[in-house]
A and B are shown apart, each in its own frame.
Chain A
């Protein structure tokens, strides 16, 4: 069965960036259908579709919406996670560059389904060009009667505000994002209360990733059965895969969930640059761990990477490394990232990442010992929200990178500390 892309169908049609061009290509069609349904019916539709969050965690979107209190008297808010800071990830940027109104359409129908009266699109500060594109699209949508009061005569009101971050990875964590939205430092909140109960400005709030919301209009247009017909049983639908690193054609590719990793690299990534062999692949952002060359048959759905010792599919931003890559240096790069981005609230993360970074520097400078490698593993075991040591999952990212890279490439670490031999370089 051939797959017809929907999320990227407007790529290559630059006119679709404008409201007029977007509507001419079938945009905002889902609104008519959505406004003819009750919000609860839409939530059920999304539940039936099995849509899972595309931002990294893979939590079922319909279930998340279901956590909002029923009959809440005050306002409910929708916060759109466009922080896209996970290294290796650039899919949401790609949507904004090519099809900003698709995002707004997703926001409108999802806000209607969750009975939200205000939507805040939180875009990372570095995406200045994309912020301008989105701001223009929002203005157009207001003028065209797609935002504001009585949208398209439906009686539904929605205000939409674009909010720029200012350079902090941790703000991709949903409660840190709420803090940044409220004008504070991006420190993740302790949960409970969960955002669905007490989120932005103390009100019930639903937070979804850009790509997740973009799936919703297509589910409304084509039905839940169409969506579950794509992908795998537990990971339905299509997915935007990002490929970068040592491949010939880095980029974003829309495919049904579950495509094997090696097919993605060969068929879409254009194979390895210089005809070299694959050594390792990070499945979805540096938090997720690493797949080895022997694990490339891994289906790229939510379950595949977990079955191979990774934290998960993450954002499906693959980073591909060739046979000459030194995995110790790769790990140092990743740990440096987490050491830099730790918000500083929790000691295991703040001190642990710095400590691991110093150890890795020592190893690379030729001063490391076997004991150092073991210390890294020990520190990784005591990091993160999964073992219950930190408020948010940032340290889990560090831990998973350290655990999987050392376990799967132990010989490289041992060679470096015993013989001072670097692989590759």
Chain B
């Protein structure tokens, strides 16, 4: 086992350009101004950064930390707590199948099996063509439409295995 160490006396090379542009920074600071404390804009900032730039990289988190005047460790601490934030590369579309009780009673396991067969991936994986990532989700508040799934945040209601091909066709 090797230890990675950083000589803290030598300045770290600054990246050539920042990832978050001016408009983004202004938007986050405007949001932050609506709260009594700047840090409260952290969840909105992480949502916005992930939507714009994909998985949360170290540099993005350092930049957000600077923007909100907190330490990068605080940003990492918060970001890694929440299921919706990711540090890993995902496919172009994220399929989230709800596996809570009502969805299980109404057949989410059959749905997951069918997706695994069609896409060749199990929950937590990304297809080779980077088209889809598959995850299971805890209750998504759509029990009246069980089994339910979210693709890129869009709710698909009362999904049956026969519907899957037609639904997936929309996402290229």
A residues in contact (CB < 8 Å) with B: 75, 84-90, 93, 118, 124-129, 159, 161, 163-169, 180-186, 200-201, 203, 242-246, 250-252, 282, 286, 317, 319, 321, 325, 329-330, 333-334, 336-337, 340-341, 343
Check: B97 CB closer than 8 A to any chain A CB.
Answer: no
Q: How far does the Cβ of B55 sit from chain A's closest Cβ, in whole Å?
A: 14
- Assess the B82–A168 pair: CB atoms within 8 A: yes
Known pairs A325-B105, A340-B138 / 15 extra A-B pairs, C-beta < 8 Å: A87-B143, A90-B142, A118-B36, A126-B153, A129-B153, A166-B82, A166-B83, A167-B83, A200-B36, A242-B143, A242-B144, A245-B143, A286-B101, A330-B105, A333-B101
| A-B pairs with beta carbons under 8 Å apart, 18 shown | A84-B141, A85-B139, A87-B101, A87-B102, A89-B139, A90-B142, A126-B150, A166-B85, A180-B43, A183-B39, A184-B39, A185-B81, A186-B81, A243-B144, A244-B146, A286-B100, A329-B104, A333-B101
> Of A166, A169, A182, A321, which contacts B39 at CB under 8 A?
A182
> Of B46, B74, B141, B145, which contacts A89 at CB under 8 A?
B141
- In the complex, the chain B residue whose C-beta lies closest to that of A251 is B144
Collect the chain A residues with CB atoms within 8 Å of residue B84's CB: 125-126, 166-167
Check: B77 CB closer than 8 A to any chain A CB.
Answer: yes
Collect the chain B residues with CB atoms within 8 Å of residue A250's CB: 102, 143-146
Q: Mark B126-150, 1 if CB is under 8 A from A, else 0.
A: 0000000000011111111110001
Interface size on B, residues (CB 8 A): 43
Complex-state Cα separation, A337 to B39, whole angstroms:
30
- In the complex, the chain B residue whose C-beta lies closest to that of A331 is B101
Collect the chain B residues with CB atoms within 8 Å of residue A129's CB: 153-155
Collect the chain B residues with CB atoms within 8 Å of residue A184's CB: 39, 42, 74, 77-78
Complex-state Cα separation, A89 to B102, whole angstroms:
10
- Assess the B105–A245 pair: CB atoms within 8 A: yes
Q: A-B pairs with the 9 shortest C-beta distances?
A: A183-B42, A167-B83, A166-B82, A244-B143, A185-B81, A167-B84, A87-B139, A183-B39, A244-B102
Known pairs A124-B141, A126-B137; A164 contacts B44 (CB<8 A): yes
- Assess the A185–B78 pair: CB atoms within 8 A: yes
Collect the chain A residues with CB atoms within 8 Å of residue B105's CB: 245-246, 319, 321, 325, 330
Collect the chain A residues with CB atoms within 8 Å of residue B81's CB: 168, 185-186, 343
Check: B41 CB closer than 8 A to any chain A CB.
Answer: yes
Known pairs A164-B47, A319-B105; A185 contacts B141 (CB<8 A): no
- Assess the A317–B40 pair: CB atoms within 8 A: no
Complex-state Cα separation, A333 to B98, whole angstroms:
12
Taking each of B35, B99, B150, which has the highest tally of chain A beta carbons within 10 Å of its own beta carbon?
B35
Q: Which of B60-106 contact A (CB under 8 A)?
A: 68, 70, 74, 77-78, 81-85, 99-102, 104-106
Collect the chain A residues with CB atoms within 8 Å of residue B23's CB: none
Collect the chain B residues with CB atoms within 8 Å of residue A88's CB: 100-102, 139, 143
Check: B9 CB closer than 8 A to any chain A CB.
Answer: no
Collect the chain A residues with CB atoms within 8 Å of residue B42's CB: 183-184
Collect the chain A residues with CB atoms within 8 Å of residue B47's CB: 125, 164, 166
Collect the chain A residues with CB atoms within 8 Å of residue B99's CB: 333, 336
- Assess the A333–B141 pair: CB atoms within 8 A: no
B residues in contact (CB < 8 Å) with A: 34-37, 39-44, 46-47, 68, 70, 74, 77-78, 81-85, 99-102, 104-106, 137-146, 150, 153-155
Collect the chain B residues with CB atoms within 8 Å of residue A341's CB: 138
Complex-state Cα separation, A75 to B100, whole angstroms:
40
- Assess the B83–A168 pair: CB atoms within 8 A: yes
- In the complex, the chain B residue whose C-beta lies closest to that of A322 is B105
Collect the chain A residues with CB atoms within 8 Å of residue B146's CB: 244-245, 250
- Assess the A125–B82 pair: CB atoms within 8 A: yes
- Assess the A164–B101 pair: CB atoms within 8 A: no
Collect the chain B residues with CB atoms within 8 Å of residue A325's CB: 105
Complex-state Cα separation, A330 to B101, whole angstroms:
7
- In the complex, the chain A residue whose C-beta lies closest to that of B143 is A244
Collect the chain A residues with CB atoms within 8 Å of residue B36's CB: 75, 118, 200-201, 203
Collect the chain A residues with CB atoms within 8 Å of residue B150's CB: 126
Known pairs A159-B34, A201-B36; A282 contacts B101 (CB<8 A): yes
Complex-state Cα separation, A51 to B111, whole angstroms:
41
Taking each of A200, A244, A325, A330, which has the highest tally of chain B beta carbons within 10 Å of its own beta carbon?
A244
Collect the chain A residues with CB atoms within 8 Å of residue B153's CB: 126, 128-129
Complex-state Cα separation, A282 to B99, whole angstroms:
17
Q: How far does the Cβ of B142 sit from chain A's closest Cβ, in whole Å?
A: 6
- Assess the A319–B137 pair: CB atoms within 8 A: no
